[in-house]
Amino acid sequence: MLRTLVLMLVMLSVSSVAIAELKIGVINPAKVMELAPQAAAARAKLEKEFAERNGKLLSMQEQYVALEESFNRDGLLMTETQRSEKARELQTKQREIKRFQDDFRDDLDARRNEELGALQRVIYDAMLVIAKREKYDLILSEGVAFASDKVDVSDKLITELSASSAAAKAKP
């Protein structure tokens, strides 16, 4: 926000002739993250990497639900000792699921951040290629409230990313 404000003030202080000579582009980061093939590949990689643990978590939750239903259904027929044992077992299972879920979420978040960092570097590099090739003086990304299609270079960036993705896949 502050960066955008400073940029606007600088642009206002430059003469209108100089502004007319500037080539400015804007990138919609959400669109790029949604449509870039590298982003889809990163999502698929994470899903594959964490599929087994996600399946285990779902299985644990199903076991807990079955145990809870059994307790609720048969609880009145149990002795006080049996009921307290089942209640402890439920409590233990619930803590186990919570611990597993927290570890799973922490690991997934850490890996997602790693993949996001790598993806951001790829996107930045592709943006630099476009900026140099097409001689942009300024490319803005986040914090832009509006940009016309005339200055939006998101599609060019997605095309560049698709080309580099295809080239990377073609390499043996």
Are 107 and 57 in contact, with CB atoms under 8 Å apart? no
d(CA 5, CA 72) in angstroms, rounded, equals 61
Per-residue confidence (pLDDT) for residue 24, from 0 to 100: 92
d(C-alpha 73, C-alpha 60), whole Å: 20
What pLDDT is recorded for position 13? 56
Give the residue from 56, 49, 52 showing the smallest Cα distance to 111.
Answer: 49
Q: How many CB atoms lie within 10 A of CB 75?
A: 12
Domains of the chain: 23-170 (3.30.910.20)
Predicted pLDDT of residue 142: 84
pTM score, whole prediction = 0.72
Q: Using one digit for the tens of pLDDT, what is the confidence trace for 86-110?
A: 999 999 999 999 999 999 999 999 9
3-state secondary structure of 27: coil
For residue 80, give the H/E element and its range: helix 80-133
Q: Per-residue pLDDT for the chain (172 aa), expressed as one digit of tens each?
A: 656 655 565 565 555 545 568 899 999 999 999 999 999 999 999 999 999 999 999 999 999 999 999 888 887 888 889 889 999 999 999 999 999 999 999 999 999 999 999 999 999 999 999 999 999 999 998 888 788 888 889 999 999 999 888 888 777 6
What pLDDT does residue 76 have?
Answer: 81
Query: How far is Cα 23 from Cα 15, in angstroms, rounded to an integer?
Result: 15
| pLDDT value at residue 21 | 81
Identify the sign of the CA torsion 148, 153, 154, 156: positive
Looking at residue 51, its pLDDT comes to 97
- E strand or H helix at 139: strand 138-140
